[in-house]
Structure 1
Amino acid sequence: MADYEDRAPRNNLRLRGVPESISPEDLQVYVRVLLHTYSPDISADMLLVDRVHRVAKPKYLPDSTPRDVLLRAHYYHIKELVLRAHHSRPDPHEHYPSIRIMADLSAAMLRCRREFQQVTSEMRNQGIRYRWGFLTKFNITKNREAVIISKPEEGLIALKRWGFLAKLTTGATPMPQRQGRNNSADSAHRLTA
């Protein structure tokens, strides 16, 4: 079920910070204008949004916090272009300073990715670019070497090999194993070789 939950919403985007003053009838237009503002090179006929609606707010958030907006982009690659454009901006957009655009990930996926926080934080500090793959893997290219990391320990080994960690940090929580294809042994071999 967790695997299905992570695969089903692959075209979805979650928008955080959209004011509640935007009515449900106006959300479709608001979202299309926002997406076009972030990615002006994408033609309007490619920016198709199949569905858009607000989702329930977690109880721990204050009443003043607007509910997230969930949308389904018709084309997967458009969703990826918008995410990339949003994350590559050094500063918030001048017209949408409070908006955050995120992939729609399940709670289980977010928990697993949090286990990589030590590794991803160090990579950002060192200016190493990485890209999340599907499920809990991410791809790094460093010195023309492509590495696929599927466990936090593998990321720490790679950082140590590249000279960014003086000593291998312990304490990374092991990730729960998923059924299906597992390339972690292959990637671990490349990291330690």
Structure 2
Amino acid sequence: MLLAMRRHIEDLDNRGRRCNIRIRGVPESEGEEDAEAILTELFHTLLQTATPQRIEFERAHRALRPRSLEEGPRDMICCLHSFPTKNAIMRKACDRPTWPFRGMQVSLYNDLSPITLEARRALRPVTTALRDCNIPYKRGFPFALLTRHRNGLVLMRWPEEITRFMEELGLMPVQVTNWILGPLGPPPGPQRTIRRREAGSPSGHASQRRRHPADPEE
């Protein structure tokens, strides 16, 4: 039940980001910048329309991490008002990995849930093996990896299905990190036990209380 709830939360998170685009590599100015104006210029350059259409934003901003010269410019994230407009931009962006803009190369990505990104990182050995064998694949929502083989549609959703997935495609098994149990495990190091003080006992000693008839037997 907990795994099903996790998968449902992941799907809801991705649906909430459906109109989002994450842009990496846009130069960052020293002072205040108009994020909507910058992204409008970028998207019009990308779409190369004869008569640039107005692009409406719900919001646009830089990634909320501290600014750092070592890590380069922060990503820009925007939420477009229209999903068809977002879809047209991403279809064009898929034509090449990077696009020239203001003297730098920028990349555009769908803004995805951290849970989905963790799973995709864990599955890199699988997707690398598929590309090496020229096996086309696509990603499904809720999270899934799908491909077609002579046996029909082959689908994988959970870590325990990876071995079966590779065997059905005739590929050698690969080592994959369990992206579900890994991030959800207990934090490293000893856990500090917090002693609760009973109400009405300033000294910290447990006070005797009367058990309510509705309380479970102790």
**What TM-score do you get using the length of structure 1 for normalisation?**
0.68
**Bigger CA radius of gyration:** 2
Aligned partner of 1:102 among 69, 84, 109: 109
Hey, what does 2:98 align to over in structure 1?
92
1:118 aligns with 2:122: no
Aligned partner of 2:40 among 29, 32, 39: 32
Shift in alpha-carbon separation, 1:46–1:122, aligned structure 2, 3 A: farther
Map 1:13-92 onto structure 2 (within 5 A). Answer: 13-21=21-29, 25-40=33-48, 44-45=52-53, 47-57=55-65, 62-63=69-70, 65-89=72-96, 92=98
Shift in alpha-carbon separation, 1:78–1:156, aligned structure 2, 3 A: farther
Map 1:133-172 onto structure 2 (within 5 A). Answer: 133-142=140-149, 145-152=152-159, 154=161, 156-163=163-170, 165=171, 167-172=172-177
Deviation at 1:127, TM superposition (A): 2.9
Q: Within 1, Cα distance between the matches of 2:109 and 2:43?
A: 12
Of all paired residues, the percent bearing the same amino acid is 26
What are the Cα deviations for residues 133-182 of structure 1, in whole angstroms up to 9, with x where unaligned? 2242133244694433313554553443333x2x3335552646xxxxxx
Aligned length: 172
Map 1:166-185 onto structure 2 (within 5 A). Answer: 167-173=172-178, 175=180
Unaligned runs of 5+ in 2: 1-5, 182-218
Whether the 8 Å contact between 1:46 and 1:78 is mirrored in structure 2 is no
Q: Within 2, Cα distance between the matches of 1:32 and 1:143?
A: 45
Q: Amino acid of the residue matched to residue 34 of structure 2?
A: D
Whether the 8 Å contact between 1:11 and 1:79 is mirrored in structure 2 is yes
Q: Within 2, Cα distance between the matches of 1:58 and 1:107?
A: 19
Aligned-residue Cα RMSD (Å) equals 3.4
Shift in alpha-carbon separation, 1:10–1:122, aligned structure 2, 3 A: same
Q: Within 1, Cα distance between the matches of 2:53 and 2:115?
A: 34
